[in-house]
Amino acid sequence: MPFDSLTLTRPDDFHLHLRDGAALAAVLPHSARQFARAIVMPNLRPPVATVGQAAAYRQRVLDARPREGAGSDFEPLMTLYLTDRTSADEVRRAKAQGIVGFKLYPAGATTHSDAGVTDLKHVQAALDAMQREGVALLVHGEVVDPEVDVFDREAVFIERHLLALRRDFPALKMVLEHITTREGVQYVAEAGPLTAATITPQHLLYNRNAIFSGGLQPHWYCLPVLKSEEHRRALVAAATSGKPCYFLGTDSAPHAAALKEHAGGHAGCYTAFSALELYAEVFEAAGALERLEAFASFHGADFHGLPRNRGTLTLRREPWTLPERLPFGDAELKPLRAGETLAWRLAD
């Protein structure tokens, strides 16, 4: 007898892009309805690189919450953008102000990563301070070497950089964000209790064929790019394994539809509108719905040393159709799976 409804402790999104201004106002209610808390990525322009910038950004996020009802108690967990110039003092201030982590973007790896780290040798003092203070390093794990195939960038990053990082900073808490490969799954499984990974809904649901089926599909283009079926299966096995080192992080990354649907289209899938429903589909297909709660609501909080949420939310088996477009300031936003029918629906 399949489940017809599923009640979970309120979940968290451990990897989210909220943007700023009108875009923030448009997307925040979607995440706040689904998640009690979210780790907010700092890749604004200019980047959120200081404690002062993070405090101001946090206030703008709070101001975008619904005034009352569902989502009005949403809590943003702030991060800072690691740059070649991040000082040990900034790390100490970050710790004191409750910043949960620093995001490492190799310069040039993705959207708004030009202020990122050009060489890990420039951030040794900051990493040392993070290790001592117990501040997490959140890693976009892809090399930017143009000679490395785009589908191999994560596996090569692990070989070239992550092994050495772990060796040099054995007590540093690290999250390999949005893992996309069998190598990522395996590395995290074997790296010990201070290493974890987030996994997105799109990397669990789709392989790279989705980007090319029936013509070029820009809404399925994100970074790290979708990989082959073998890798997708390894991710599903990891997410549904019950192992505490894997947890939910949507990497929901809104871009105006017009900026995705043109040459040089932007990278990012917008999944915040229906994230839990998408994950539920994955867990159900794997026969592991009873493990969704730990993945969505326990493992990430435990890893980051946060209390588990109180309260619950309920998913019902109830087909519904995702809107074609959502308002996005002056523009429009196309959710992943726009116009398609989903099997699960979050109850109000």
Give the footprint of ligand DOR on this chain (CB under 6 A): 17, 43, 110-111, 140, 222-223, 253, 267-268
Is 251 a known active-site residue? Answer: yes
Which of ligand DOR, Zn ion, none interacts with 111 (beta carbon under 5 to 8 A by kind)?
ligand DOR
Q: Give the SS3 label for residue 32.
A: helix
| Least distance (Å) between residue 222 CB and ligand DOR | 3
Pick the catalytic residue from 149, 251, 330, 348. 251
Instruction: Work out what residue 79 binds among ligand DOR, Zn ion, none; the CB cut-off runs from 5 to 8 Å by kind.
Output: none
268 contact choice in Zn ion, ligand DOR, none (CB below 5 to 8 Å, kind-dependent): ligand DOR
The conformation of residue 117, written as its DSSP 8-state character, comes to B
CA–CA dist 149, 145 (Å, integer)? 9
When CB distances are held under 5 to 8 angstroms depending on the partner's kind, the choice from ligand DOR, Zn ion, none that residue 110 binds is ligand DOR
Q: Which is nearer to ligand DOR, 9 or 43 (CB)?
A: 43
Judging by beta carbons within 10 Å of its beta carbon (0-12, 13-18, 19+), is residue 171 exposed, middle or buried? exposed
Closest distance of CB 220 from ligand DOR, Å: 11
Site size with Zn ion, rule: CB under 5 A? 1
In Å, how far from its chain's centre is CA 173?
17
CA distance 218 to 61: 28
Site of tokens 């002062």: 52
When the beta carbons of 23 and 315 are compared against ligand DOR, the nearer one is: 23
Residues 6+ apart with CB under 8 A from 93: 51
**Touching Zn ion, residues 232-291 (CB under 5 A):** 251
Binding partner at 9 among Zn ion, ligand DOR, none, C-beta below 5 to 8 Å by kind: none
Helix-, strand-, coil-residue percentages of the chain, each rounded to 5: 40, 20, 45
* Tokens of residue 90, six digits: 């900034």
Q: Of 17 and 58, which CB lies nearer to ligand DOR in the complex structure?
A: 17
Cβ proximity to ligand DOR, 222 vs 257, nearer residue: 222
How many secondary structure helices (H) and strands (E) does the chain include? Answer: 14, 13
In this complex, which beta carbon is closest to ligand DOR, that of residue 17 or of residue 345? 17
Q: State the binding string over 297-316 for Zn ion (x if CB under 5 A, else -).
A: --------------------
With vertex at residue 193, the alpha carbon angle to CA 135 and CA 9, rounded to the nearest 5 degrees, is 80
Strand order in the sheet with 5-9: 5-9, 312-321, 341-346
**Residues annotated catalytic, as ranges:** 251
Interacting residue ranges for Zn ion, rule: CB under 5 A: 251
